[in-house]
Amino acid sequence: MKQTIRLFAIALIAFGFSVNSFAQQDCATAVDVTVLPYSASGLTTVGMLNDYTSADACLSASMDNEDYVLSITPSSDMQINVELSNTELVTSATIPMANLGLFITEGCHDVGTCVAYVDDVQSNPALNDVNLTSGITYYIIISSANALLGEATNVNFDIDITKNAEDDLAVTSIEGIVSDCGLTTLVIGCNIENLGLNSQTGFDIYFDVDGTGPQTAVYSGTLDPGATDYFEFATPADVSGVGSHTVEVGIPLVTDENLTDNTLSETVVNMPVYSSFPASEDFETNNGYWLTGGTASSWEYGNPDELLPELVINSANSGDNIWVTALDGTTNTSETSYIESPCYDLSGLLLPTIEFYTWVNFSLYGNSANLQASIDGGATWTVDLYTFEETDTWEEVYLQSAELVGKSNVKFRINYESGFLAAEGLAIDDFTVKEAVLTDVGVVALHGPNSGCGLTATETISVVVENFGAQSISDIVVDYSLDGGVTWLSSPEIISVTMVPGETYLYNFTQTADLSAFETYDFVAKTIQPGDEDHTNDELTANITSQETIIISDYTESFEAGNG
C-alpha cells in the first residue's frame, strides 16, 4: 500500500513538472518567428508564468502578469509591424479593467534593451514601423497590468507580424474616368505612392483598356519613401465602343514586395447618343446603358421574381427585364436615388415625346418620385416632366415637352425618395423617345341633327373636328355614312380652314342627309386626312332615330309590333 502511494505521488510530481515545462514560456522557450508575414490566433498568456516584470527592460506595469514570448532574428535590416487583435482580458477582478502590454526588446527582457512598447491601451495594442538590425535576436512579449484593485490578469489574443517592404509602389487612384455619352478617348491620370523603404526612380507605369494590351510610359522622377505624386499618360485611352470599359493602371516593378497594391481598375461607361427616332429601349438586350446614383440606392436591373408571393412589382411590362427599386423586396431606408438615361439629340424633333410604362408601389407616407430632363448632358436638371403616383399595375405615361425642342444634349433622370414605411418603390419598362404625332385629326362630336320627330329629307349634318397633331393642319377631308359605313358620300368634302394643334372646328356638310324615313340610322363621320399618323381617333359613330309625328285625338300603342 505504501509502495502504491509513493508511486502515485511520484506520478503526480512528474505530471506537474511536465505541465509546467510545457506551459512556462520565457526567452529560452520563445516561439521563434522565422518567416514574415506571421499570423497566429487563439493565443493566451494563461499558464505561461510571470517571468518578466515592471522591473525589466521597458519598466512597465503592463508586464506584471504572465507573459507570452516570441523571438525573431532578421537576416537583413528590416522594419516590422506587430498588431494584436481580438484581445480579451481574462481576470476574476471585481472591476475587470487593465492595460495590455506589447513590448519589443533587443535581447531578453530581463537583461536586454527596450526597443519599442505600448502599455496604455485596454484592447488591440500595436507597434508599427519598428526597425530591426540584421543578425540580432529580438523578443516580442505580450503581458498585462494588474486590475484596478490589484488582482492578476491575463489576455487572450491573435497576433500578426508583418514586414514593411523595401520596394512597394502603389496606385492609389485613377483620375479622368468619367462615364458620359459619345466618348471617344480619355486622358488617364493616376495618383501613386511609395509605400516602401527605398526611393524609386525611372520606373514603368501602364494603363490597359479591356485587356487589349498595356500602354506603357516611364515615370522619370524620383519618388522617395512616403511620397505621393500624380502621373498623367500622354497617350489617350480609346473608349469609343458603346458600353462598359475597364481601365487598369499598374506599376510592374520587378522588385516590388507587395503585389496587392500595384494595380487599380475603374469602369467607365460610354453611353450612346440617340439621334434617330423613335428610339425605344425595352431593356431586354442589356440595361440600356442607364446608370444609377444617389444615396442608399436600391435600383436594380433584371427580371423580377414572379414566384415571390409577397412581391407586388413581380413582372415586366414586356419581355423579362426592367429597371426597378429592388428586384426582390423593398427599397432602402433614407434612400435618395436615381437612374439616368443615355443622351438624346432632339434637335430634329418638332415636339419631343416621351413614352414609357411604370408600376408604382408607394407606402402610405413619404415616398416620392419624379422624371426630370437635363439639356446640358446631366450638368443640371431644370426640366420637370412628370410626378409619379401609385398604380395597381403597369401603366403608360405619355408626355410631350416644348422645353426640349431644339436641344441636342438631353438626358432623362428618374429620382426616387423612400418614405417612413417599407415599399417596393417603382419600376420602368419600354422607354421610348420619339417625335410627337404631327398629323392627326378626327371627328369628336355630332352637333346635329339629334334624334327626334319631324326629321326631313334635307337635314344638315354638323360635326366637330379636332386637330390632335403637333402641327397646324389645313384642308381637312371629311365624309359621313348613314348605314354604318356601307355607303358614303359620292365625294368627300374638304374643310378649307387651318387648325392649330388642339383646336376644334364645327363643320356643316354641304351634302344634306335624307332622314325622312322613320328608322334608326347608324351614323358614322370620319376624317380621311392624307398623312394622318393615328387612325384610332378618326371616326365617330352615333345613332340618329327619326320618329313619326302623330296628330290624333286618341292614340293607342300596344308595343306588340315593336318599340313604338
Mean pLDDT of all residues in 170-194: 95
Q: Which of 39-48, 83-92, 418-427, 517-526 has the lowest mean pLDDT?
A: 418-427
- Quote the pLDDT of residue 18: 29
Phi and psi angles of residue 8, each rounded to the nearest 5 degrees, phi first: -65, -40
Cell reading at 189 = 491620370
Residue 11's pLDDT band, with cuts at 50, 70 and 90, is very low
Indicate whether 480 belongs to any domain: yes
Q: Which of 56-70, 125-139, 416-430, 547-561 has the lowest mean pLDDT?
A: 547-561
Residue 135's pLDDT band, with cuts at 50, 70 and 90, is very high
Cell reading at 395 = 401603366
pLDDT digits (tens, 9 = 90+) for 444-498: 999 999 998 989 999 999 999 999 988 899 999 999 999 999 999 999 999 999 9
Same domain, 429 and 490: no
Q: What percent of the chain has pLDDT over 70?
A: 94
CA distance 475 to 489: 17
Q: Which of 213-222, 243-252, 387-396, 447-456 has the lowest mean pLDDT?
A: 447-456
Under 8 Å between Cβ of 169 and 217: no
Same domain, 241 and 322: no
In which element (H, E) is residue 494 found? strand 493-499
Domain that holds residue 157: 12-163
Same domain, 17 and 118: yes
Cβ-Cβ contacts under 8 Å for 225 (sequence gap 6 or more): 194, 196, 197, 198, 199
Same domain, 540 and 400: no
Strand partners, 356: 397
Same domain, 157 and 182: no
If one counts every other C-beta atom within 10 angstroms of the C-beta of residue 182, the result is 15
CA-to-CA dists, residue 317 to 7, 245, 283, 298, 338, angstroms: 88, 30, 11, 20, 20
Instruction: Report H helices in 112-189.
Output: none
- Quote the pLDDT of residue 370: 97
Indicate whether 564 belongs to any domain: no
pLDDT at 3 over 90: no
Determine the length of the chain: 564
pLDDT at 102 over 70: yes
> In 91-152, at which residue ranges do the beta strands (DSSP E only) sit?
100-106, 113-121, 126-132, 138-144
Under 8 Å between Cβ of 473 and 499: yes
**Mean pLDDT over the full length of the chain:** 91
CA-to-CA dists, residue 412 to 115, 346, 373, 409, angstroms: 63, 12, 4, 10
CA distance 546 to 512: 15
CA distance 45 to 153: 9
Indicate whether 7 belongs to any domain: no
Residue 548's pLDDT band, with cuts at 50, 70 and 90, is confident
Cβ-Cβ contacts under 8 Å for 305 (sequence gap 6 or more): 311, 314, 327, 328
Same domain, 188 and 299: no
Residue 325's pLDDT band, with cuts at 50, 70 and 90, is very high
Report the chain's C-alpha Rg in angstroms. Answer: 43
- Quote the pLDDT of residue 344: 97
CA distance 429 to 107: 73
pLDDT at 15 over 60: no
Mean pLDDT of all residues in 295-320: 90
Same domain, 208 and 356: no
Q: Is 170 strand, coil or helix?
A: strand
CA-to-CA dists, residue 241 to 90, 184, 460, 550, angstroms: 62, 8, 65, 82
Indicate whether 409 belongs to any domain: yes
Mean pLDDT of all residues in 32-44: 96
Q: Which of 386, 405, 435 is the last residue of a domain?
A: 435
Indicate whether 366 belongs to any domain: yes
Indicate whether 417 belongs to any domain: yes
- Quote the pLDDT of residue 6: 35
Residue in the block written with cell 417596393: 424
pLDDT digits (tens, 9 = 90+) for 335-378: 999 999 999 999 999 899 999 999 999 987 778 999 999 999 99
Cell reading at 298 = 436600391
Same domain, 301 and 429: yes
pLDDT digits (tens, 9 = 90+) for 530-546: 999 889 999 999 999 98
Cell reading at 479 = 365624309
pLDDT at 238 over 80: yes
Indicate whether 559 belongs to any domain: no
In which element (H, E) is residue 319 found? none
Q: Which of 190-199, 415-424, 543-552 has the lowest mean pLDDT?
A: 543-552
Residue 419's pLDDT band, with cuts at 50, 70 and 90, is confident
Asked if residue 278 has a cis previous peptide bond (ω within 30° of 0), the answer is yes
Mean pLDDT of all residues in 188-201: 96
Buried b or exposed e, range 9-41, using 16+ CB within 10 angstroms: eeeeeeeeeeeeeeebbbbeebeebeebebeee
Amino acid at 259: L
We report the CATH number of the domain holding residue 542 as: 2.60.40.10
CA distance 208 to 185: 13
CA distance 320 to 304: 8
Residue 16's pLDDT band, with cuts at 50, 70 and 90, is very low
Same domain, 302 and 408: yes
Same domain, 305 and 420: yes
Asked if residue 304 has a cis previous peptide bond (ω within 30° of 0), the answer is no
Q: Which of 371, 401, 435 is the last residue of a domain?
A: 435
Same domain, 383 and 296: yes
* pTM passes above 0.85: no
Indicate whether 125 belongs to any domain: yes
Q: Specify the number of domains making up the chain.
A: 4
Q: Which of 245, 271, 297 is the last residue of a domain?
A: 271
Phi and psi angles of residue 393, each rounded to the nearest 5 degrees, phi first: -160, -165
We report the CATH number of the domain holding residue 384 as: 2.60.120.200
CA distance 431 to 141: 67
Same domain, 425 and 297: yes
Angle at alpha carbon of residue 349, lines to 343 and 353, rounded to 5°: 75
CA atoms within 13 A on the CB side of 322: 26
Residue in the block written with cell 372646328: 505
In which element (H, E) is residue 343 found? strand 336-344
Residue in the block written with cell 381617333: 537
CA atoms within 13 A on the CB side of 250: 19
pLDDT at 307 over 80: no
